[in-house]
Every structure is written in structure tokens, then in C-alpha cells.
Structure 1
């Protein structure tokens, strides 16, 4: 049985889009007969034992954050994680080391894999220098930005195989001069076994938090500036001119929370904030929403990276509307599986949402098409086979009949 060790920034029991994608990958590999374990470095901040089992997945932890000035501190972090990987690998003896971005994890995994003579796969979920710009913690073109990009280039060049979660990231790497023949796609996906028919509207919850008959526009996730929630709030007065009962339901929290609440003060009952809610309760809030909206601002980050939330909404047979940026265009076909509207333009957002609500007779067919799209292109039960083909080629084993050749998918041809 093949054993694969996954190198991770953080993992369950923490909840984030990163950890949910990791869980889906590891569970899907397990279902295909692959033994998996994960190892996290200093950025996993949850309390817990050195070896932890969560949802039948085993994770190993490596040390606290090392000290020192910038750059030296990050290099110490890489070396600390590398040492932990090597120590675990000598005990557990994995066949493949599979590291997931950021590049700190990638470099630790690459160095360990070369010292142990084990095939190395690197997976990029986002360019973290661009994510830092989007989160307001970095500046494009700064020294830290350029160093992070250079480190990632080294990891990509040294890896035996590379995956990205979307075409935008892959195309950017190829434009930098990396070999496209070794860069495949592992798109964001969902475990369709977790998504059935949408739950009925939770009227008790609606009454408790002040949600009326709607239409209800909703966002469930983290409140970062690049998500464009300020534009969505600014669109609400214009939307209510055509649909007076329209409300905006914002579920979650994050760096923009206070700013968004201040912005929404004049809108009284038009905008409802719930704060963060337990993951087990999220489906109740989904039940109150007519249209899930994702108004991401246009930036390098949002043009290159595909989000997970719209796929989860389509899997739940919910209607989705999103800004017309590159990451959304990879997931949503305008007028077919959802609605795309101009980014960074509250008036245009309001007009598009109002027209979309007026056309709600078309929603049932759109729900079905959205669910079918997720099943065909974003179901982890199928997507995981992309990994299996690459693992087997790297290990020089006889191919299993029916598995795809590495990277030879519709997304990478042509």
C-alpha cells in the first residue's frame, strides 16, 4: 500500500478553507487505499499533542515558532520542519512526500525529500505573497514579496511534480519559465457525499436574527478586504429601490468586521451580521439565503485563485452570484451555473442582483446545472485520481488501468 506524507501549514482541528481542502484530499486518498499522514510546522497554533488524530486522520506536530530576525527566522522554521519530516519519515517510511503551499512547507519538504531520496510533489493553493497583499499584511513588490516569490520558484523548479488548484496559477508559473509538462491541476472540490438536498428554511432562526421574507443575499465566510463586502453593502440601498424587502446576511468575521459594521449602521434592518458561527450550524444559515454572493475585488490574487465557497454553494443547490474576476470565471458560467457581475462597482452589482432576482423563474434549472457541474468537474471522488496517476509514475510502478495519465486532463491540454 502506498504511503504519502503531506506537509501542511496547519490542519484540523483548526477550521479554515485550507484545512477543509486538506481533509477532503486525505479522506479521498484513504478511500482509494492510500495510507496518509500529515505533518505541520510552527504555523499550526492549536493546542494539542505531538501526534494527534482528528476525524480518523493522523497529524504530527513540529515545534514552536523559532526566533530571530526576518529571513533568518523563516529559514530556521524551514529547517525545524525539515528535521521533523526526516525524523517521521525514518519511522513511518512514506513512499512520496507531498507538500502544500506556502513555500516554507514546500522548501522543508523538498530538502527532506532530496536527503531521503523520496519523490517530491508540491501543491500550490495560492501565491502567498499575493494573499498577503490581499489580506493587507504585505505590499506588492516589497522585499518580502520578492523573497517569497523567489523561494516558491526554487521549490517549483526542484519538485518532481507540481499541482495548482486552478489554471490561473498554472499559467502564471509557465509564464515564469517553469516546465508546464510537470504542472497539473487539482481543482478545488467538494465531497458530494456531504451535500444532499438543501435544508428547508429555518424559520425559527430567521425570526431570531431578524431575517424577513427577502429576497436574502448572503455571504458566509471570512471578512477580508479583497472579498469586496463593502461593495455589497454599498449596493443594498440601490437593490432595495427595486426590491424593498431585500436583506443582506453576513455570516462570519475577520479583519474587516468592524469597518463593515460601521458602514452598515445607516442601513438598519437591511444588513444582518451574525458573527462567527459553529461549523455544524452553517447549514441553518445557508437555508435562509436566496442568493449566495461573492463580490471579490479585482486583483492579482482574485484573478489567479479560485475560491471554494461557490462550489460548496452549488453542491448545496444554492444560487450563486459573483464578481467577474478570473478565479470566479473558472468556476461559474454566467447565466448557466450562476451570475457574474462587474467587480468594484456597487451600482452595477445592485442592478445585476435586481435583474437576477427578477429572473428567479430560471433558478431551478440553474441549481440543477450548478450541481451537475460540481459533480462532473469538482467532486473529490474523481479529482483524487489525478494524484494517484502522478504518484504511481513517480514511483515507477505499473499503471492501474483506468487511471489518467499524469496531467493529461482537459484543463491542461491545448
Structure 2
């Protein structure tokens, strides 16, 4: 098939990583794939360049940009696009507008989160208008699908669930060697227990609650460090919060990294403090690293973290509950190890890239019943 993936950009993030890995898998299967970026190409585009997979940017400006739409239309036509797969709301309605009247066989949109925007009104209105030219709206977890239908974002008949998947080949579980390497990187004593988290530093991930929880953890376990991987608009705010909580010297901000897999293998446990979440790529990767997990019970997190089996679920915005769950895993090391191995077994069975690509393949042929 001739497949076009339409995204805002390919900057570093969970959505973008999922798109890259799916594109690579579809390319490996022999499909003709391209990626069209509504804005800039993004920092991850080079990974596709090296495989000969086209990545083009429309360089959209603020407001209605007819030139960007024309560029998008040219790219869709030149690729002889049969399947248009868009990602999230803005990319979707822009792509639908650009492709009007082209007769594309299948138009699929994936909503990668729960759609929790602070001011979603106009965006969701435009998204709903574009649904007339949309064959399927994919949610990445059942919780997100139910929520989208409940809020009238998409009709139930056009929705289905395709959980995210990750590439497991070469993804090793956490080890003492990688742990020691990480302790050297962040310059903490050997034997320090490392609590790690991966995600953009923004309001949705609520690292503020995690820092407050870590202050409680440090009071009982001074042999701990908190590592935050990722960057975002709240970086300096969170640095200030760590200082205010008295833990600035043991909270390590590593920024955006291209070695997240290696870093995960150095953690003792993984913590995710989100107030909203779709189907978290970070949680899937934590499972792949065989890490015990503490996560907030929001969105699709409970579809990945099974409380008491692969980790602990806690309420959002509750630093005390988050700290108690982390301390439980730090104290019960054997049980924590058992939870981590169960997480790895679960992701091997349910969270692979191959399984996700197969589901999308069925959906591209209009088989919604068997895509989920």
C-alpha cells in the first residue's frame, strides 16, 4: 500500500516515537510509506532519512495557511496515497482539508492521548467537522475510546482501539552493570536506589507531585535519587520546586536523551505521575526494561500497569500515596523484582510493535472489527 502518515512534527516524544517505529515496520513489510509534517520536520526525522523514507515539512504558519495546505496536497498526490493515517486532532483536520476530493481509499486518525486540552473547543469542533471524511478514529486504549464517545468527539461506530506497541528487539532488562553506569553519570554513590521517570516536563505529567513525593521518600530512604528524563516548559519551575522541597541535590534533570533505553536499564523502579495519559509509551518501555512501576490511575495506565501484578497504581495529584507506593517497592526488593519480571512478560505478549502494525494493517483494509 501507499501510506502517508500526517503529523504535526517529528520532535522527540511518545507519539512521534510510535509513528517512527510504525513507519519503519511498514517499510520493512514492503509498503511505500512517507511522513508529512504540518510544521517542521523535527529532530527525529533523520532516523527515517537513513532508511530512504521520505519526510517532508509543510512549514505551516499561524492561522489559515493556504500555502501549507497546497504543499500537503502536492505531497499526498505525488505519493499516490491510498491510506492517509493522521495523528491527533490538528494534523487530522488539516490533512482532511488538504486531501479534499482526492478519493483517498482509507482515512484513519489516531488520537494518542485522552484529548485533555485546557481549551479544546475550536480544535475539537474542527476535528468533528473532519469526521465526515474519516473512516476510523483510533483510540490507543479503551479508556480513551469510551471518553471520546462520551464527550461526543467521535461516534461509537467509527471508533476502535489499537494499543501502542514498541520495538522489543534488543531491549534488555535492567542490570547491575547499567545501574552502576547510571550512578556514575549522575555522580551518586554506588548502591544509590534510583527512581526514574521519562516524559515531557509539562502540566500533564505532573512531575511536581513526583518531586513532592520524593521529598517524603528521602526522609525515610536517604539512599535514593530521582532521575527525570525529558524536557519541557516547566523545567525551571521544577528545578525551583526541588530546591524548595530541599531535594535539589538529589533530583537529576537529564533533559532530552537519545539513550533512554540504556537509562531505563539503570533504574531501580519507574514512576509516572501524570494527571492525564493515553496509552503511555514510557510505561511500555519501563515494562520492557523489567522495572517495577508506580503510576497514577489515569487514562490507559491501568491497562498497562496491573495493580499488585506488575506494579502499583495510585490516585493522581497525591504525593503521599505516590511516596508510600515507591517506599513499598524500595523496601520489598524481592517482590519488586517479581513485579518487574511480570511487566516484561506482559509487554512481550501484548505490547509489541508487530502486534500493533498487524492491527493497523487490518484497519487499513476497513476491518474495524478485528483491528481492536
Q: 1:146 to 1:43 in 2, by over 3 A?
A: farther
1:158 lines up with 2:125 in the alignment: no
Shift of 1:293: 0.5
The number of equivalent residue pairs is: 366
Cα 1:153–1:83 change in 2 (3 A) is same
Alignment of 1:84 onto 2:89: no
* Equivalent residue number for residue 70 of structure 1: none
Report the counterpart of residue 93 of structure 2 in structure 1.
107
In the alignment, does 2:6 pair up with 1:7? yes
TM-score, structure 2 length as denominator? 0.88
TM-aligned CA deviation for residue 89 of structure 1: 3.3
2:55 and 2:330 map into 1 onto residues whose CA distance is 45
Question: In the TM superposition, what is the alpha-carbon distance from 1:390 to its structure 2 partner?
Answer: 2.1
Deviation of residue 314 (structure 1)? Answer: 0.5
The alignment's TM-score, normalised by the length of structure 1, stands at 0.80
Deviations 1:302-349 (CA, angstroms, capped at 9, x unpaired) = 4xx222101111111122111122331122110111111222122222
Q: Does 1:22 align with 2:19?
A: yes
Out of 154, 162, 169, which is 1:186 matched to? 162
Which residue, out of 188, 195, 198, partners 1:220? 198
Cα displacement string for residues 113-145 of structure 1 (whole angstroms, at most 9, x for unaligned residues): 4411112222222366x34x3xxxxxx4xxxx3
Aligned residue among 376, 380, 396 for 2:349: 376
- How far does residue 106 in structure 1 lie from its aligned partner after superposition? 1.2
Give the Å deviation of 1:87.
1.6
From 75, 81, 85, the equivalent of 1:94 is: 81
Equivalent residues in 2 for 1:26-175, closer than 5 Å: 26-44=23-41, 53-62=49-58, 64-66=59-61, 73=63, 75-76=64-65, 79-103=66-90, 105-119=91-105, 120-126=107-113, 130-131=116-117, 133=118, 140=119, 145-175=120-150
Do the aligned residues in 1 keep the contact of 2:112 with 2:139 (CA within 8 Å)? yes
1:293 is paired with a residue of what secondary structure?
Answer: strand
The Cα offsets for residues 238-285 of structure 1, whole Å up to 9 and x where unpaired, read as 2234323122222333222112212222535762324325303x3443
Give the Cα–Cα distance (whole angstroms) in 2 for the partners of residues 46 and 244 of structure 1.
38
Residue 267 of structure 1 pairs with residue 238 of structure 2? no
Q: Select 2:287's aligned residue among 293, 314, 325.
A: 314
How far apart are 1:82 and its partner, in Å?
3.5
Cα distance in 1 for residues equivalent to 2:61 and 2:50: 26
Map 1:343-382 to 2 at 5 A. Answer: 343-382=316-355
Query: Structure 1's 215 and 90: CA in aligned 2 closer, same or farther, altered over 3 A?
Result: closer
Q: Which runs of 5+ in 2 are unaligned?
A: none
2:368 partner SS:
coil
1:152 CA displacement: 1.2
Distance 1:156 1:376 in 2: 33
Match of 1:137 in 2: none
In 1, the alpha carbon distance for the partners of 2:44 and 2:28 equals 29
In the alignment, the residues of structure 2 paired with residue 96 and residue 208 of structure 1 have an alpha-carbon distance, to the nearest angstrom, of 45
Change (3 A) 1:390 1:286: closer
* Alignment partners' CA distance in 1, 2:113 and 2:215: 34
Aligned-CA RMSD value: 2.6
In the TM superposition, residue 92 of structure 1 has moved relative to its aligned partner by 2.5
Distance 2:44 2:327 in 1: 46
Deviations for 1:152-211, whole angstroms, at most 9, x for unmatched residues?
A: 112234301221212222112322174323312221221111413435235354135232
In the aligned structure 2, how far is the partner of 1:211 from the partner of 1:15? 28
Is the 1:98–1:109 contact (alpha carbons within 8 Å) kept by the matching residues of 2?
no
In 2, Cα distance between the equivalents of 1:220 and 1:321?
13
**Counterpart of 1:401?**
none
**Structure 1, unpaired ranges of 5+:** 68-72, 134-139, 394-404
**Higher RCO, 1 vs 2 (CA within 8 Å, ≥6 residues apart):** 2
Whether the 8 Å contact between 2:174 and 2:265 is mirrored in structure 1 is yes
**Paired residues of 2:215 and 2:247 also in contact (CA < 8 A):** no
For the residue of structure 2 that corresponds to 1:225, the secondary structure is: coil
For 1:4 and 1:29, how far apart are their aligned partners in 2? 9
Q: In the TM superposition, what is the alpha-carbon distance from 1:4 to its structure 2 partner?
A: 0.9
Match of 1:339 in 2: 312
